[in-house]
Chain A
């Protein structure tokens, strides 16, 4: 740029037919500005795309790594769990409730009218067929994340005999469905399967 203008200056501003206007870049002729605008736009766009391309891997590296994402599984032996009682196991850093329901508890859970429920769901949809005495739930209150009480028979279980959250008073029934707020949703059911009648694999 500097040399060409110096050269044209030395030759006394000749008209430049190729561009169809007098070549006088020293004064920034408006027609020249269009090409410069284009180049500025392309350069800025390139820089923006480059920045994004560089920033993304650095941010994505902070997302869970592959070993964290790989679903871990936990095997649970059901034989020591007495009828009417339940245990807590850890899976992916979360508490999992495994409760051995009494016949009365199963009947209570099945007989509920869907319209009575805050978050309607049938008991059948929350257990494995043929194993409905076992209810397996993620033990995190759907309100603000405390762990509800109710696994031991001596724990407070609330009006519906399931679980009671001491933090803000949410109550769940024997199918883990929310019956009294402030929790908005049922205790979620994790992915699990029966390996045998006495062993489950969670996750």
Chain B
């Protein structure tokens, strides 16, 4: 049963387990609980959009599926645009469907520095296998594709000329239709978001989903949470409901979870050390036709620089994305790019950075997120812009547009001189991965969540989302979140 705004007949509801959030973490936790025969309610701030409602219109779908149309600002210099999902299925509905096992060395770092015993690669491997089976994950070669993913083939060609290692991306998809709509809700249902994988299982097992329902406060007393107050926005009129529970599972994501915790005065340490990945894009106009819209978001990645936690791949391609990637350039550049869109390629580097953010929750209903730019990140950004330019020219680019106002190149000749002049405020940076705002750890002073996923100071509150990761990981965190949640739930059931 899925309730939408307008379906809420009562002011009070109750359940055994209340799961706040339906993304990668919440859906796994709620599904495992409901399949144990437990009474589960999911609460989701966003609306429910079935696969049949997804269209090819970027603006419309972004307004429906993303918080603040995908341009929530992270305050700092430069401003960073954060794209965050807000719908039933959360971020899994709008991500690139790349599922990566947590790098072994990251898990080792977590064990040594944060005391995460029992979360080693061998401990999590069984969970990775289950998740990959559930979501049909496969690293499929594109070598035999003749008319699809030509932009990624060009990426391979460029990387090969530079002797850089590439790998096919393990993707969660069944019968992909190559329509490059991963980031606006897959209209074919091929992408195995939680909307089409975990949540239907939970519903089948008897769970209920309350959509259009934003939890604004957790009521608690003496270390025991007992109910939440949620707001339903029905045609501009706000209605409040209360849901009582025995156990609360928070999975609203790395920004909303600590915000709710702070608003409800459950922990002072939540939201203090938010990690994020920076994404920087370079756009290339090739001499050949690549029809980048015919393909998938990123079937291939350059892994040559994985020891630096930097990964280069093609990005989502729609005319709107192409134009937005060039928003710092003049309108004449956008015109030119749109008219040649069949030859355009957008490359993106995802990188782990030292800059950290902080969540401020004292004023208003929404969190304010600001960050301090760590200047050591500037050189990493510059190096990766240079790498993207190199690979594009090796792939036969005629012109390359940098993520800096008015900066473009027709050869690599002047690149070093141009890059040297770049200041942090000049660069167009975005992010889609936020983590570690309620880190798990053995030390109560340095962590918000204990090794079993329990919020410290509370006896019946679990956290099961990206916020419990002790640090960022460099890659898309979906599989890491899911594996951590599988382990947290295993421990919970054991007790």
B is bound to A: no
Give B residues with C-beta under 8 Å from A: none
Q: Which residues of A approach B to under 8 Å, CB–CB?
A: none
